Every structure is written in structure tokens, then in C-alpha cells.
Amino acid sequence: MQSLSVVMENYLATKSALSGKARNANTPDQISISKTLPQFFIDILERLERRGAFKVEGSYGQGNIAGVPWIGVFNLEITTSAQNGYYIVLLFSEDMKSCYLSLNQGVTTLKNAYGVEVALHKLRGAAELALEAFVPAAGTVKGPIDLKASRALGKGYERGAIESFRYDFSALPTPDSLELDFRSLLGHYDTLANKVGPSLQALVPVNETQFQKAVLEKATATTKKDCPPFVEPPGGVPVLPKRGNGGSWKYPRDPLVAAEAVKSAEYRCELFPEHQTFKSSSKNVPYVEAHHLIPLSRQADFQFSLDITANIIALCPTCHQRLHHGHASERRSPLRRLLSQRKDRLQEKQIFIEEEILLHIYSNDILDNED
């Protein structure tokens, strides 16, 4: 197909000529990515009388030229952006020797929330579960693809691939063949939308270790891209709705909020600052963990959000596990002290709780995922 070969023959030369900047130079490859190839998929959707339900766009990057340019086809009930959700996308490998038509997942929103490592884990897990929803077509690549990617976005597409058709530069598909492959993926896209709904990520929970790792990554981030400025609104913070998480529905924890609390504590245990911990394996800071003093499992008892800095305590691992699993007699004094220290701040956020109520909440083991 000529539009594919135009991109693969010219993209690297355009990237070099523009010094890696994503400026519109109206080159043949840019025209194919932004106009010709999107129109190809639009025409198919129009023949299927489904154009209004989809958004189609192509991109060769913003600011810097993308290592992996793409053309995305988005079901508007699932996502309107390549940054999140799942969709059909035509991806060109970074070396321009192959391309894939792929049922794949958005990377950016997940990476911004949890960091690269956890994001890749969730993408892979969600892709594996998604494959159970339909019978893949013969000849497709099931699971990870090889885009020769050197950047996080491309690596995310490699790991997030669910089902893909691969095309080598020496054997590109005809327009009719590409249309048949697109229709096949579109049917599976529809199946996923009907069975799973808008979020594949709801199928893959973030475990406690991954969450704490994401918190430290955000807390120690050095750029706004890795960790945007944190601003908590004054007064009570609205409660976010429950989200699907590994088969159950729970109130979400935002690593960015927890990261702010950990930074404010200067990576020291707030229960016993003299407690020695260890250096984090991924970050050169003392390892501490974020703990919600009032567990999020009790959110329904409060009008305003419990996922706020006033309710998040930085603890060394020993103190953290004491509050979760220690004998009741070893919990009471620490809990009284923590509540005394935080009560005014909690009340400023419209969170009101009496000591005896908090002690009652902790009278039984607090599960890990109730932090």
C-alpha cells in the first residue's frame, strides 16, 4: 500500500532534516500520517455507517518527532485520546522496517499516574486478560509486538498490544487486505467494549508494593512531566467515584497525593522519626510508605474525600505493619498520637472523627488494599 511505503521510505529523513522537531513541513510522510491514512480508515467507517461513533487521527509527535508515529481509531464511548483507554492503532516501528495494525492501549495517562514500571506491568496484564474475551484471528500477533522502541511511549505500545497484524516493509498489504484486517480488529474492539466497558485497566489491580513504588517515584521526580505540580484545593475535597480494580470496586488512591505527603514528611517515619529504615532500591531516599490514617474503605462514612494529604502518614515499614497487623494494645497509643497530630488538618478538610471511632476501625486487621 503506497501510503504505508511513503511513511517508511521518508520518515527518518524528515526526522533528521527537522532536527527531531515535530514541525509541519508538509513532507510526503507527514501528509500520509496526518491525512491520507486517517482518511483511509474514515472511508471504511463510512461504508460501515459507523463514522459518527469514532474519532480518527494521526500523529508524528508534539514538540519532538515521535519515534513511533501512529494513526489511531478511537471508539468515542471508550476514549477520545491516544493517552488512555484502548483503541485500534496503526504503528510504525522506530526503524521504519515494519508496521503493525494493532488493538492496543493508551500509555500516557497510566505512565503519568504510576510511573513507567508499574504502567508497563498493568498494560501487559490488561492485554492478557483482554485476549480472553475473543478468539484472535489467524495470523495475528497475540500480545507484545516489536517496534524497536527506545522511548517509554513506544515501549508502552509494545507491551500494551492485545492483537496485531504485522507488515514488513518488503511485504506491505494491499488496501483491500488492510481493510479486511481492520474490520477483523474492529469486531474484536466491539466485543471488548461490550464485555469490559471503557477501562481494561480495571481488570488489573495495582498491588501495595507497586503503589508504594509509584509514590516514591512521584515524590522524587525532578521534572513536571514526571510529576506535575501538586495543588490540593482548600476545604473539603470531592469524593471520586469507585473504580473497578481487579474484579472489585474501590475508592481510588492517587499516588500524586501520597507523594506530596511523603515529601512533606521528608521521607521520615512520622510515628517514630528516629526509626532507621533503608535506602529505596529505585530512589536514593529513605524508604517509607504512605498510609491512610482513616482507611479508604470507610470513605462512605464521610462526605468529603479521605485521599488527602492530611489523612496520609509516612511510616517506616515496621510502623506501617504495626498499624495493619499489630496487637490492639500496640495500636492504640500510636493511633491516638497520630490523630492528635492530624485532627486540626483533617477538620480543615471537613473530615471529622472521634478517637474512639478511629480505634474501633482498627480493632480488626486492616487489609493491605485498604491503605
| 3 state SS for 108-156 | HHHHHHHCHHHHHHHHHHHHHHHHHHCCCCCCCEECCCCCCCCCHHHHH
> What's the CA angle centered on 51, arms 46 and 57, to 5 degrees?
110
pLDDT: is 214 or 60 the higher one? 60
Going by pLDDT thresholds of 50, 70 and 90, the confidence category of residue 248 is low
* CA–CA gap between residue 51 and residue 189 (Å, rounded): 15
Ranges 23-37, 162-176, 220-234, 266-280: which has the least confidence: 220-234
Q: How many CB atoms sit inside 10 A of residue 149's CB?
A: 20
Helices in 19-144 by DSSP H: which ranges?
28-31, 37-47, 108-114, 116-130
Per-residue pLDDT at 368 exceeds 50: no
Q: At what angle do helices 208-219 and 116-130 cross, to 10 degrees?
A: 140
Radius of gyration of the chain (CA): 24
Q: Would the pTM of this model clear 0.85, i.e. be above it?
A: no
Q: d(Cα 77, Cα 55) in Å, to the nearest integer? A: 10
Please give the pLDDT value at position 250.
83
Tell me what the mean pLDDT of segment 323-327 comes to.
89
Q: How many CB atoms sit inside 10 A of residue 192's CB?
A: 20
Using the predicted structure, report yes or no on whether residue 203 has a pLDDT greater than 80.
no
Residue with cell 459507523: 50
Q: How many residues does the chain have?
A: 371
Ordered by where they begin, the domains of the chain are 2-198 (3.30.920.90), 208-370 (no CATH)
Q: Let me know if 229 is exposed, middle or buried by CB neighbors in 10 A (0-12, 13-18, 19+).
A: exposed
Q: 249-253, 278-282, 312-316 — which is least confidently predicted?
A: 278-282
